[in-house]
Amino acid sequence: MPKFHSLKVKEVRRETDGCVSVAFEVPESLKPEYRFIQGQHLTLKTELEGEEVRRSYSICASPFDDTLRVAIKKLEGGRFSTFANEKLQKGDSLDVMTPMGRFFTDLNPNNEKHYVAFAAGSGITPILSIMKAVLQREPKSEFTLFYGNQRVDTIIFREEIEGLKNEYMGRLSVFHVLSRELQGSELFSGRIDAEKCSAFCDKLVSPQQVDEYFLCGPESMIHEIRDTLTAMGVDKSKIHFELFIAGLNGKAQKKQKESRSVEASIQITLDGNTFEFPLASGSDTILEAAQKAGASLPFACKGGVCCTCRAKLLEGEVEMDVNYALEPEEVEAGYILTCQSHPKTDRVVVDFDS
Ligand code: FES
């Protein structure tokens, strides 16, 4: 079961103007719990202005480096990411959940695979972890990275990636794609989308000879690349993807259980506004039903991991499909993950402000 421990910040390193990476000190006794697999993420928790805030961020280190480090890109209005970019310092402590996530394939030193990754912006974070692990553990495998950013100065981990290219010469190919800075070639200017993906497959990789694809970036990019690759005949099982939404990536996680909701009337309070809507019996969660009713509720992963959709149940009963984010005391106190909750009574009252 995932668990929080308080870990000391070992280093806050500025990667770009809008992104830091944060390394943690892991005491010897906790090392087994913080052993991670390439591509996994950590949920961080702290108190900001008297309120608990938690967010998940992908690990950018390789599991073979003896480092636990995440990257945190500053988001507009992002409380945690702003705090991490502007205030967090070496020696501070944060509550860190044990690593989670399934964005990886098993490594084997005998593999002779070709991996191709498409990343945009901070979507590079889990990809960097995967890339380093593959290059370290699979000496006969090769890796091709297509990495989209606005400009050269917003490329996160630029130097580290250059270093890897030199270290693993011949096995790592990197193609930067910039949307707000002119490049010599049109092929590498613009956003990574369906058209670019087709062009890359035409000119730089043979899609049928690629063993695994890893995609991480905004939803639209992931869908476009995935659809383009499948239309070219790439088997879906070779395409692994993770959305980054507010630094959290749980959406790709499969629900372990699909509870059914009873027909109910739901009342929600958010930012002081109260609204009510019906939820038909079926498999919709409270969050899904609210979205269908036109409400805009906070959420990120929809996978029961990030806690963004947390609210307090004031009346009625619900059942959650999975819960990787709430502590037993919170559940005890009536908190629920609305992205995982199904009503069990005909009236449910939920408060996001509590
Ligand atoms: S949206 Fe992440 S736990 Fe519900």
Centre of ligand 1 from the C-alpha of residue 280, in Å: 21
CATH architecture for the domain at 114-249 = 3-Layer(aba) Sandwich (3.40)
> What one-character-per-residue DSSP string does 92-112 give?
-EEEEEPPB--------TT--
Per-residue pLDDT of 330-348, as tens digits, reads 899 999 999 999 999 999 9
Question: Residue 342 pairs with which residues in a beta bridge?
Answer: 319
Residue type, 241: F
Per-residue pLDDT of 224-233, as tens digits, reads 999 999 999 9
Q: Whose CA is nearest to atom 3 of ligand 1?
A: 304
In the chain, residues under CATH classification 3.10.20.30 are 264-351
Q: Is 239 in the pocket of ligand 1 (CB under 6 A)?
A: no
Burial (CB count <10 Å: 0-12, 13-18, 19+), residue 106: exposed
Average pLDDT score over residue span 27-41: 96
Residues 6 or more apart in contact with residue 293 via CB below 8 angstroms = 275, 277, 278
What pLDDT shows up at residue 130?
98
The CATH code belonging to domain 4-97 is 2.40.30.10
Centre of ligand 1 from the C-alpha of residue 338, in Å: 7
Place of tokens 């699909």: 258
Residue from 45, 244, 302, 324 to probe ligand 1 pocket by mutation (most atoms less than 8 Å from CB)? 302
Q: Is 307 in the pocket of ligand 1 (CB under 6 A)?
A: yes
Question: How high does pLDDT run on average in the chain?
Answer: 90
Q: Is 100 in the pocket of ligand 1 (CB under 6 A)?
A: no
Query: Please, how many CA atoms are within 13 Å of residue 120, restricted to the half-sphere of its CB?
Result: 22
Residue type, 19: C
Q: pTM value?
A: 0.75
Continuous segment of H or E residues that includes residue 175: strand 172-178
Four-way CATH pick for 264-351: 3.40.720.10, 3.10.20.30, 3.40.50.10490, 1.20.59.10: 3.10.20.30
What pLDDT shows up at residue 244?
63
In the chain, residues under CATH classification 2.40.30.10 are 4-97
Centre of ligand 1 from the C-alpha of residue 148, in Å: 27
Centre of ligand 1 from the C-alpha of residue 308, in Å: 5
Q: What does DSSP say about strands 142-149 and 172-178: parallel, antiparallel, or unpaired?
A: parallel
Average pLDDT score over residue span 72-97: 94
